[in-house]
Copies of this chain bind each other. A is one copy, B any other.
Amino acid sequence: MADTGWPGCAKSLKGVILDMCGVLYDSGEGDGVAIHGSVEAVKKLKASDLQLRFCTNETQASRETFVAKLQRLGFDISVSEVFSPAPAAVAVLKDRCLRPHLLVYDGLLPEFDSVDKTNPNCVVIGDAAEKFSYQNLNDAFRVLIGLEKPVLFSLGQGRYYKETDGLKLDVGVYMKALEYACDLKAEVIGKPSPTFFQSVLNDMGLQPHEALMIGDDLVNDVGGAQHCGMKGVQVRTGKYRPSDEKHPTVTADGTCGQPGSGCGHDPQSEALSTP
């Protein structure tokens, strides 16, 4: 691992925040597959003095369903440790008396059960995947273009993620599509929103410099955490691409993984054992 910033970080470190998809597991058919070393890494962290939280932009399933899947993959994890965009969105909708038109994966709908969805005055999009049909995107567009002050919430702004059968377009791509169609700027709920990271820090009772974020998404995980004053480490799994290490605006505090990188063979154990 590159040691930039590590000595200083390791001393004050009191908590670790882990991204999930691409770090703990690769999604795909069925439950997907755990990434080599990740189950053990979580186990080690739980046995350490460090606090641990999981922070995901996962919006294809409710937290209950999602956590059950991770448990089946062998992870020691509970719902109360997981932060995801949908509950944060529900809080914002209720606070601002907004009634959403939802363009989300069916599995996420239960998270919005308590929200009034009649006569929509905003649109919420998540990682709807196959539900991002032309018809569905057009329906969301028509709701927005018919509003005097269109409001679009995007649950994350990722470009793409990796499933077992290859890269898949993420919600950010459709956020940009609707932004252009309606000439508006979406409000992002989830990583890299500072509000979202701060809610995780608050739950741990930590200051930003006491926490470390580990993710596979350079911009949303690493850059987002750094923007909040945390350290950010990228793992060479999931959506990691070699060009990330020459990114024009975001430089990770550390990068872990893969043979030949000088970082050993097990990115997950390595990332988590270094501090």
Contact = CB atoms under 8 A, between A and B. Distances in A.
Contact of A169 (B129, B138, B166): B138
A142 interface: yes
A172 interface: yes
A160 B134 contact: no
A99 interface: no
A133 B71 CA distance: 33
- One complex includes copies of this chain to the number of 2
Contact of A145 (B131, B134, B160, B178): B160
Q: Does more than half of chain A's interface fall in helix, strand or loop, or is it mixed?
A: helix
Nearest to A243: B183
Contacts of A183: 159
Given A134-B169, A137-B173, A159-B181, 4 more contacts: A131-B134, A132-B137, A159-B182, A173-B177
Interface of A: 128-135, 137-138, 141-142, 145, 159-160, 166-169, 172-174, 176-183
28 contacts: A129-B134, A130-B134, A132-B134, A133-B134, A134-B169, A137-B173, A138-B167, A138-B168, A138-B169, A141-B160, A141-B167, A141-B169, A142-B166, A142-B167, A145-B167, A159-B180, A159-B182, A160-B181, A169-B177, A169-B181, A172-B181, A173-B177, A173-B178, A173-B180, A176-B177, A176-B179, A176-B180, A177-B177
